[in-house]
Amino acid sequence: RSVCGRSAPPRMTAAASPSSGAEAPSALPDDGEWAIDSWRRFPALQQPVYPDETALAEVEDRLSRNPPLVFPGETERLKTSLAAAGRGEAFVLQGGDCAETFDDFSTTSVEATFRLLIAQVIAMSYLSGLPIVKIGRIAGQFAKPRSALTEKTADGQEIPSYRGDIIHSSDPSAEARVPDPERLVRAYSQSAAALNMLRALAKSSSSMGDWTDLISTLGGDAQRDLVEKIEDALSFVSACGVAVEGNAAFREPEFYTSHEALLLPFEQALTRYVAAHPSRRGGDATASSKAWWNTSAHMVWVGERTRQLDHAHVEFLRGISNPIGVKVGPTTEPEYLLQILERLNPTNEEGRIMVIVRMGAEKVWRKLPPLLRAVTAAGKHVVWSCDPMHENTIKTASGVKTRPVDLIMNEMNAFFSVHAAEGTVPGGIHLEMTGLRDVTECLGGGESPVSERALADNYQSACDPRLNGSQALEVAIAAGRRLRE
């Protein structure tokens, strides 16, 4: 706790200083008790400025009286699974869009991402022998941090950068980029509809044959062998008299949602003081069993640009009971990491913190070991996850933002190798991906590699480039193989 006490100012590393927006304060603000709105006393980076604060407050009030999107009992179960992943008894696959949008929302888009994730999970659990914890970047991944305050339109106009559909429209005009509070309500409604769809998909049993077909379709010839092995394993199991199809593990995959907790008024409005298991205690939960749960998603994370120790996002997150992700880029110092762990998880609860490492294919070799050593030496429980996407973004000569699958694979492989060398546990991977067909946003990969010229064919992402279905399956399979070693 001393890191944010008035007597001991926090150390600000290069990564922890703001990359855009307001300047960090030279002195700490009053650091009292946590409250649901205590973050408002701290500087909040990457927040939109609403032209009408009263309209925003009215929306916040409305949302705070709406039903929760997810239930704390589910969120608590995810924490238990994450604790297992931290010990090497499970592995996390977290994936989905960089930014969900209001336009690309359909049965098809939600179902495609869900089905891709389950196909990846079946391949990964076959290859690794581990339970795979399934977390979508979905049903609420609407707010985007941006490095630049403005962007240029095709005709050379400078307009505010796009910050996600929960803030404003992506249309390239200054008027479209004015923040509109009503979009919070729309994001809430779309999240509820997506969750409804996801819950139905998780309950409706697809037969195992459908999943192996999907692996065949996405993986092509390269994965023929794997598909045959999975099918053999399944027929062996059913020959032994075990009904795979009826097995709860296959019939009702436990599926969790996540997003970056960026837009704090929204996150606060969905955070409730409730018991995780009200019914088990018969009627009203006692005060002691209640806690603050963010019901906008099961897991939320703090991004690379907003994780300053003495700023609003960390202040908000430290008081909620959900599992929290912390993105760490290549400038992260071990001392800073220990400080944020102390701040977000002073009791060292297992399953509470996922450190999402996004160092880049080269830097990860040098930058990750000191972090692993510091956290191990301090005896802190974390789940180490690899985000091989965000530090491997390049621009083509014609200015298209893309990511080479080779670099993504390299960073992930390095992540596994560094853990093996350090004797620590790789706990998960974090991917930006879409199950939508034939998307061409990342370069190379798989059976029909995407060429630089082909990027223009079907580039749909509202923000960062995503792996398409076959690229994402290939990365997942590579992770599964590394887990077996």
Residues in binding site for Mn(2+): 98, 390, 432, 464
Q: What, of Mn ion, ligand PEP, none, does residue 350 touch, CB below 5 to 8 Å by kind?
A: none
Nearer to ligand PEP among residue 98 and residue 132 (C-beta): 98
**Shortest distance (Å) from residue 307 CB to ligand PEP:** 8
Which residue sits closest to ligand PEP, CB atoms considered?
A: 303
Cβ-contact 357, 111 below 8 angstroms: no
Annotated binding site for phosphoenolpyruvate: 137, 304-305, 327, 358
**Secondary structure (3-state) at 150:** strand
Nearer to ligand PEP among residue 260 and residue 267 (C-beta): 260
Q: What, of Mn ion, ligand PEP, none, does residue 303 touch, CB below 5 to 8 Å by kind?
A: ligand PEP
**Shortest distance (Å) from residue 374 CB to ligand PEP:** 20
Residue 288, token pair as written in the block: 């002691």
Separation of alpha carbons 13 and 339, rounded Å:
11
Q: What, of ligand PEP, Mn ion, none, does residue 419 touch, CB below 5 to 8 Å by kind?
A: none
Q: What, of ligand PEP, Mn ion, none, does residue 466 touch, CB below 5 to 8 Å by kind?
A: none
Nearer to Mn ion among residue 432 and residue 474 (C-beta): 432
What is the CA 274 to chain-centroid distance, rounded? 24
Annotated binding site: 98, 137, 304-305, 327, 358, 390, 432, 464
**How deeply is 237 buried, as exposed, middle or buried, from its count of CB atoms within 10 A (0-12, 13-18, 19+)?**
middle
Nearer to Mn ion among residue 90 and residue 99 (C-beta): 99
Nearer to Mn ion among residue 212 and residue 434 (C-beta): 434
Q: What, of ligand PEP, Mn ion, none, does residue 358 touch, CB below 5 to 8 Å by kind?
A: ligand PEP
Separation of alpha carbons 412 and 277, rounded Å:
37
Nearer to Mn ion among residue 147 and residue 235 (C-beta): 147
**Shortest distance (Å) from residue 390 CB to ligand PEP:** 4
Q: How far is CA 156 from CA 159, 171, 397, in A?
A: 9, 14, 18
Separation of alpha carbons 129 and 448, rounded Å:
29
Farthest-apart Cα atoms in the chain, separation: 69
Where along the sequence are the contacts to Mn ion (CB under 5 A)? 98, 464
**Shortest distance (Å) from residue 208 CB to ligand PEP:** 32
Separation of alpha carbons 52 and 54, rounded Å:
5
SS (H, E, C) 410-423: HHHHHHHHHHHHHC
Terminal Cα distance for the chain, rounded: 39
Q: Which amino acid is at 106?
A: S
Where along the sequence are the contacts to ligand PEP (CB under 6 A)? 98, 145, 260, 303-305, 327, 358, 390, 464
